[in-house]
Structures are given as structure tokens and as C-alpha cells.
Amino acid sequence: MPLDFARRFVGADRTAADNRRLGATLAFVAGAMNAGGFLAVHQYTSHMTGIVSSMADNLAAGSLDLAAAGLAALLAFLAGAACSAILVNFGRRRSLRSVFAAPLLLEAVLLLVFGLLGARLAGTSALFVPITVLLLCFIMGLQNALITKLSYGEMRTTHVTGIVTDIGIELGKLLYWNSPAAADLAPVRPNTARLVGLAWLGGAFFVGAVAGALAFEHAGYVATVPLAAILVALASVPTFDDVLVAMRGRA
């Protein structure tokens, strides 16, 4: 039942297992983008903590141009997240099966744009670097907002800080000693399924980062093509279902 599996992978009707599978796949893609993007522009674009800290440092040092560049990157991430929310809410209000597929298709297109820009403008660093940073930040915001809305805030895929924090929380529950003297209180128990899912997310991001760095180093910007292909493959079945429904409605 490959088509049914593909529908569940990014479909509107979801289970916790579906979310974990999609989350791990997108974490792999995010890790690859983050590592490959660093080799391209020497800057990580998946997390805003470093960018905001860099903005503050540059502002304090009087480097207003660098602080403005950091602000632009932050706004690009914010715009990507807002765009994802618009697409998801649009799909939900119309009961589309591709409610979560549309942001993935847009991400795939933007990844190919990144690869095309790299192939054309890599020798013009003054123009290539700022455009690429903004594009990658937009993509990261787009993906992170998608998985956040899809999982109702339980998962992130573009940065590992939250993942490691949540793993630490569950490990703390696992190691907690429930004293017999407090038998009248509910025991502290870890959410084992969540702990395993978080470990998969962190591991997938790391494996994706290694794969992305190796692919970018050996193949260059063409390494964006298989990443885009993964996203298109994920989104194609629910999108095609909606196209068929629309065509039947017009017939």
C-alpha cells in the first residue's frame, strides 16, 4: 500500500507515528541544508539564537552594517514561518488533503533556487552571500513553522537546542527516584515514546548534516537536487489528490 503510506506521511489526518516519521525526515533535510549552507556562506542559518547574539555584538561594536544584515536574516526566518502558517491555515480552512504539502513544495522550489543561485553567483560573494543567507533563513523558518503547527508545538526540526532540552527533561524523569514516602503522589514517569522520537530527530539532523556537508563538498550546489526531490516525493500524493478532487468538481 505505497500510496496509502505516502498519504499518511504528509496527509491532513495524522498520528503521532506519522509525525515522528515526517519530523525525522525533515530534520535530515534541515541538517543537510544547514551544513551545506555553512560551506556556501560560512554561516549557520537554522537557529536564530546565534544570529540575534551576533546582531547585539555588532551593534555594541558599532558595526551597523553587520547588525543590519543579522536583522535581515532574522526577518527572513520570521517571514518564512509566517508564510508557512498562511499556507497551512489556508489549507485547513478549505479541508485540503495537501494542507501540509504546500509548504514542502515551496521549500523544494526554494532549495532549487538556492542551488541555481550558487551555480550562477558563487563567484560574486558581495551579492551571493546576503541573498543566500536570506533565502536559507526563509526556508528554515518555513520548515520549522510547518512541523510546529503539524505537531501542535511538540517538535522542531531546524535546530537541536530544543530537541536536546526535551531529551534532557525526559531523561530527568527516567532517572528520578520515586520515594516510597511519597506513595500518595503520582509517580514521575518518562514519556518513552516521546524520548525515542526526540532521539530520532536529533540523530536525523546529525546524519543529515554529515550527508549534506559531504555532498556539498564533493558535488557542489547540485546536492540541493536530491533534497528537493525528497520534499517533492513527500508532498506529491496529497497534492495530486487535491488536484483530482478539483478536476472532478469542475467536470
How high is the mean pLDDT in each 10-residue block of the chain (251 residues)?
Answer: 71 84 93 87 81 90 89 94 95 90 94 82 63 90 92 83 91 90 84 91 95 91 91 90 81 58
- Exposure of 221 in the CB half-sphere (CA atoms within 13 A): 16
5 lies in a domain? no
Q: Please state, as a whole number, how many other Cβ atoms lie within 10 Å of the Cβ of residue 64.
A: 10
The whole domain housing 80 covers 15-250
Task: Please give the pLDDT value at position 125.
Answer: 57
pLDDT at 30 (0 to 100): 93
Q: Which of 31, 78, 32 is nearest to 52 (CA)?
A: 78
Question: Does residue 185 form part of some domain?
Answer: yes
Residue 75 grid cell: 526577518
Q: Is residue 10 part of a domain?
A: no
3-state helix, strand, coil in the chain (%, to 5): 80, 0, 20
The answer to whether position 2 is within a domain reads no
SS (H, E, C) 58-126: HHHCCCHHHHHHHHHHHHHHHHHHHHHHHHHHHHHHCCCCCCCHHHHHHHHHHHHHHHHHHHHHCCCHH
Q: Is residue 4 part of a domain?
A: no
The pLDDT value recorded for residue 1 is 43
Check: CB of residue 117 under 8 Å from CB of residue 56. Answer: no
Instruction: Please tell me the predicted confidence (pLDDT) of residue 3.
Output: 67
Question: How many independent structural domains does the chain possess?
Answer: 1
Per-residue confidence (pLDDT) for residue 155, from 0 to 100? 84
pTM (whole model) above 0.85: yes
Contact of 149 with 164, CB cutoff 8 Å: no
9, part of any domain: no
In a domain, 7, yes or no: no
Instruction: Tell me whether residue 213 is in a domain.
Output: yes
